[in-house]
Structure 1
Amino acid sequence: MAKIIPFKAVRPTRDKVSLVAARSYQSYTKDQLEARLRDNPFSFLHIVNPGYRFDKEISGIERYSLVKNRYLEFKEDIIFVQDEKPSYYVYRIVDRENQEFNGIVAAVSAVDYENNVIRKHEDTIENREVLFKDYLKTVGFNAEPVLLTYPDNSVIKGIISKKQKERAEYEFTTTYRDTHYLWKVEKPELLEAIEAEFKNMPHIYIADGHHRSSSSYLLYKDLKAANPEHQGHEAYCYFMSYLIPESDLRIHEFNRLIKDLNGLTKEAFLIELDTMYRIENRGTIPYKPSKKHHFSMYLDGEFYSLYLRKTAYNTETSLDGLDAQILFKTILEPILGIKDLRNDNRIMYINGKKDIVNIKSNVDSGNFAVGFGMVPVTIEEMKQIADDGLKMPPKSTFIEPKLRSGVTIYEF
């Protein structure tokens, strides 16, 4: 049973939300970041980059404390205001390609994370978990929801659809040409209906935000241990999430670029590949695979298709059948010598939303020797791996929607 509850969000005023909302800090180039900090005093980037005011790079606990100060200033200046009643927030995104994402922003249970009601499909890195946990403990808020997905539900869909016929609290379009809408749900009967539907779900799944989820769980454990009067309903027992139905989730692949052939010549590399793959030279015409266990490869000015020889590869678990795992176990590790997919600087990942020609341009530049493309993971594969308690290789999925920071904020 998934426990999903409403909360009193801290939100930008209607007139400033489009100015406040920001992409993930890491997604901006240095020039983009400088321009937004210089030209937009209301951007949430001023909160997460407090050193801009002092023209200084600031890190660690000093930065965390200044982040909290900037956040409190935004509240003092009535840029942020907290809702008076606990609410769910219906959130809709329509992107530049006219894809729609419709879901609910809510608080989800850290205990559900602990008990595997909230299921994971990716490994996390411990030092990143601890760093973000310490950040959350200092600043006292979370401004970017974890993306969760749940099986399509007609009752929740009906509530969302009916709510979306009303005037939205927010409607704004970003410079990326994504349009965002938000509606407050605060009627008791609707709150109860939404909570009851989620209670009937045995599992929900993390789509994007494994480190944020894990950090929030670590924060819960720390604050619970430090509170002798802990009762289980404190704000730190929950973390903010955006829950969307599985049919709205968009999963793209991550393609791989490798800097060298591990000392092999082109010819020797192709011979090594032949053991596990049927290889076809596609020439200079870009080739993108269309089936599972088929890969594209760009090497020395030419595209190749690689078809896995099924008799040469054993599939014993759901993870074994994942294309990212197959590529790792048959090529990256045994032939190219890449054993640590997270930390080896010989590998780079590019999301599959970018054209397959992007692989070609990176290899042609001389920065990489070979590139591999694959088909996206399906929601069924992702769920099965999570259900089996297994973990995908890093960068197996590029998942949409990508959320904005600072639109709804959860305090604890």
Structure 2
Amino acid sequence: MLLAARHKAMKELKKRLPYIEDGVLLSKLVAYSSKLAHSCVEKAGMLGFVKMRQLDVDEDRKLGLIPFFVCGTLGTTACCSFDNVAELSEVCSRENVWLHLDAAYAGNALICPEFRFLINGIQNVTSINFNPNKWLLVNFDCSLLWISDKNLLTSSMTVDPLYLQHKHDDKTVDLRHWGIPLSRRFRALKIWFVLRTYGIEGLQDQIHQHIKLARLFETYVKNDARFEILGKVTMGLVCFRLKGPNSLTAKLLHMINESGKLHMVPALLSEIYVIRFAICSQNARDEDVEFAWKIVSNEASSLLMERENIENGICTEKVGDGDQKNPDIDDVFPDFDDEIIFDQQKSNLHRARLRRSLFMRMVSDPKCYNTKVLKALCVDKKRTRSTPSENSTELDYDK
């Protein structure tokens, strides 16, 4: 969708500004998403050679950037939060900006009438997608896309050499113009079989069952004073943590996964480390949730007891020839310090910025990809280093 939105924006800009080169216009385009949008949104920006922002639009407009694409999210991966579709729709419609809704997970729940309030204001949305393989009993991979005007997509993807042309354009949809691949699998058949086998009521029951199980787990967590829940449980996901520093929850998750009985993944919500308990199995039942909670509770008890013993100086460890000392809690949990967790997060973000920077510079800065220019710059750099002077300046490739 981002590539199609970029094509639309560039086409409109070239009409208004025909004297400006494509590379200059492209370097001004900027897309937006929430901080909890899926990683594929950022990757789309990298592949589309456009800036991807999680910042206020006004600041970028002051810098001369051109907003062209907004990705809203219904049910974020981290915590299943929801963007306000009505507000986004109003702003994007007023500013002539492409609004895409990523409803990969929670969009499946829209088959249940009680959840359709989540898409109030959808009438001005340009495109929306969701993945039946995430929650509608369809095996991977399967993604459904709706777009308000198919020409917005096909005009950006059409490549029509003579050997691919035919006379049946008016009789069928030629899906080779709907995406990057020329050929594609027959994914529609498995959706058809699921719909025929379960029907709308069967699929609704599946959604309701998973939400019921998530709320059962939520009840277990709320009844244990050692834990807390972050965010509202609306779908089949519960985000919870041990009260205390992030390192405590990180260590707990490590112990749970190492047990081999249960597997969960973490998320950072406003710099708070949480564990994600997601109901995924088609055959999950109440006893499965109870089993999972017992593992969480038992591992938490072991962790907190170990922590208490260390703080009270009860635990000892051998040092040298029979000598003993009381271990420090940081020595026992060295890989789960709060600072380490955030340093890793900052390091990942820094690497991502460097990758985005390289992609962006390749569009507007020829020294990044033109071998002749690179060679000339390298020679000049060597000369500068060999004959330094007070007025000489060295090229900084990191800027």
TM-score, normalised by the number of residues in structure 2: 0.22
The answer to which structure has the higher helix fraction is 2
- Decide which structure has the larger Cα Rg and report it: 2
TM-score, normalised by the number of residues in structure 1: 0.21
The answer to which structure has the higher strand fraction is 1
